Structure 1
Amino acid sequence: MDTRLLKHFLVLSETLHFGRASELCHISSSALSRSIKQLEDSLGVALFERDNRTVSLTREGVKFQRYARDALSHWDMIRNALLEEAQELQGELSMYCSVTASYSFLHDILRRFRSSYPKIEIKLHTGDPAPAPNRVLNGDEDIAIAARPDSLPSALAFKSIGLSPLLFIAPVDDPVLAPHVDKPIEEINWSEVPMILSEQGLARSRVDRWFSNKALKPNIYAQVAGNEAIVSMVSLGFGVGVVPKIVLENSPLADRVKVLPVTPTLPAYDVGVCVLQKKLKNPLIEAFWAQL
């Protein structure tokens, strides 16, 4: 069965750039254009709106994107079900995690998985961990490493792989911040301390709750995406930040910051792997899940 047209469409729908999409598909831009035109001619509708500068999905393109993802997923499922007895699973899994998770939690998992299933290709994307569960829920990724949400959506399956406390960190011996934080923890006036916080996600909601319980409004200096950037800004003396311990332990800047023993402590991250419940029947995902 030739699934190339669907794959070409999905890559373009994710990149919205003919040049990048053609590189990822290992074909020329003109060949990619022919694939899209062939699909649009077959369907009788335009899937993309394009001009000299931009490419975007039409309303019909958004609907077809959902179909294409499901169709390729079902194709992989039946193909690998037929190959399962011969232990020749092959295909592709897309994964999402933070940079830190990619070389801490994920490294050992992938090493074992690749040894057992060398024919399964892994397409890894890294970025801010906050949207990781939603990327799985939306069908953008098959698997993600993420902190367990306070309320786990019923559509998600989650398997814990470790705990990581959330820590308040400050720069070491910074002349500007020292008067604010180099004192007994109970004497810190938190309303005067500049804070560097995540834009969104679990850490942000827990920090906001921490300040609310103290009847304080945080003095937010910066809101950033990615915990690694928070460690960097804190080490430069811009403010106090909150990051998971696993990020601090793996940061090259760890010796330039210190942990503040705040009370009460923030609830730890329950770090784990999440997939869609309905995709656990996919032999590729089932094999990965069993390795955890």
Structure 2
Amino acid sequence: MEHRLLRHFLALVETLHFSRASEMVHLSPSALSRSIQQLEARLGTQLFVRDNRHVELTPAGRLCAEYARDALHQWDSLKNRLQAQAQELQGEISVYCSVTASYSFLYPLLDRFRARYPLVEIKLHTGDPAVALQHVIQGEEDIAIAARPDQLPPAVAFRSIGLSPLVFIAPRQEPMIDRLLGQELKDIDWSQLPMILSEQGLGRQRVDAWFRQKALKPKIYAQVSGNEAIVSMVSLGLGVGVVPQIVLDNSPLIDRVKILPVTPHLAAYDVGVALLKRKLHNPLIQAFWDLIDEPAEHP
């Protein structure tokens, strides 16, 4: 099957929008539609349910997406291995991380990687860090900057690049919140204190365990995706949140919130690079992996 059709198909899988997908692969929407129809004809099944307003994968489409990602990965890996023999790496790798991680942890790595391998294209996607590892496991991204889970999946390789404590934060000046916080930590009325927490992920798991350890049930005001949104909502006086220290340190709203020295302390995030072990056969990904433990060069 032509790799061109598979790339067109995956572009539509990623966007579920013909106009945006056609821009990604430099085709007109009508040409992209013909590619999808051609692929469906070869497979003898419908891959998408589509109308004038939305596009959705069929069960067959989801199976085809798994095959397409794996097939293109193997093809790209073969090309890269052959190129590596010529000592000139080129191609592309995809990276997923949060906005904060993109300039706190990823930037120095990408800076060194680009200097060494200028022909390699980096596709960077940002989003909720809680699902970073999931993007790697599902084959949607080659590499992710993620917090190491308590149990690392056996198929995943992980290298630490830094630690970040998890901290409770509260608005600096909000009479209602101040009243619930009291004068000392022992005075905090946790049963009434509105909490702004992540929807999912390691941070949420550790907060939930913290409350269980204290035999308390949090009063959840909001559940959000992305730690930056938690800092924003806390700064507005809407409640108390829990975020990695690195997010707070890089937030423009840091002066509007304060850290609560609650005990016991939450375990720090072990932030690192995660990828599927089998993808280390790809010379591009192996080159990125090898760069992690190298000492940074100083002028």
Scaled to the shorter chain, the TM-score interval is over 0.9
* Residues 1:256 and 1:182: Cα distance change in structure 2 (over 3 Å): farther
Q: Give the equivalent residue in structure 2 for 1:256.
A: 256
In structure 1, C-alpha distance between the alignment counterparts of 2:86 and 2:182, rounded to whole Å: 63
Amino acid in the other structure paired with 1:204:
R
* Residues 1:8 and 1:88: Cα distance change in structure 2 (over 3 Å): same
Q: Give the equivalent residue in structure 2 for 1:202.
A: 202
In structure 2, C-alpha distance between the alignment counterparts of 1:275 and 1:157, rounded to whole Å: 5
Q: CA RMSD in A?
A: 1.3
Amino acid in the other structure paired with 1:24:
M
SS of residue matched to 2:140: coil
Q: Give the equivalent residue in structure 2 for 1:154.
A: 154
Per-residue CA deviation, residues 32-86 of structure 1 (Å, 9 max, x unaligned), is 1121122222222222222222212222221111111111101111111111122
Amino acid in the other structure paired with 1:230:
I
Q: Give the equivalent residue in structure 1 for 2:14.
A: 14
* Residues 1:142 and 1:117: Cα distance change in structure 2 (over 3 Å): same
SS of residue matched to 2:75: helix
Judge conservation of contact 2:173–2:237 (CA < 8 Å) in 1: no
Structure 1-normalised TM-score?
Answer: 0.97
Q: Give the equivalent residue in structure 2 for 1:34.
A: 34
Query: 5 Å matches for 1:2-81?
Result: 3-81=3-81
SS of residue matched to 2:34: helix
SS of residue matched to 1:267: strand
SS of residue matched to 2:174: coil
Amino acid in the other structure paired with 2:124:
L
Per-residue CA deviation, residues 213-263 of structure 1 (Å, 9 max, x unaligned), is 111111111111110010011111111110000000000000111111001
In structure 2, C-alpha distance between the alignment counterparts of 1:261 and 1:56, rounded to whole Å: 47
In structure 1, C-alpha distance between the alignment counterparts of 2:199 and 2:222, rounded to whole Å: 9
Deviation at 1:182, TM superposition (A): 4.7
Amino acid in the other structure paired with 2:111:
R
Amino acid in the other structure paired with 1:37:
Q
SS of residue matched to 2:130: coil
Amino acid in the other structure paired with 1:98:
S
**Kindly, what percent of the aligned residue pairs are identical?**
67
Q: Give the equivalent residue in structure 2 for 1:125.
A: 125
> Relative to structure 2, which stretch is displaced further, 24-33 or 260-269?
24-33
SS of residue matched to 2:280: helix
SS of residue matched to 2:49: strand
Structure 2-normalised TM-score?
Answer: 0.95
Query: 5 Å matches for 1:83-122?
Result: 83-122=83-122
Per-residue CA deviation, residues 132-167 of structure 1 (Å, 9 max, x unaligned), is 111111111111111001111111111100000000
Amino acid in the other structure paired with 1:174:
E
SS of residue matched to 1:190: coil
Deviation at 1:3, TM superposition (A): 2.5
Amino acid in the other structure paired with 2:13:
S
SS of residue matched to 2:128: coil
Q: Give the equivalent residue in structure 1 for 2:223.
A: 223
In structure 2, C-alpha distance between the alignment counterparts of 1:289 and 1:161, rounded to whole Å: 11
Q: Give the equivalent residue in structure 2 for 1:178.
A: 178
In structure 2, C-alpha distance between the alignment counterparts of 1:76 and 1:227, rounded to whole Å: 34
In structure 1, C-alpha distance between the alignment counterparts of 2:59 and 2:256, rounded to whole Å: 50
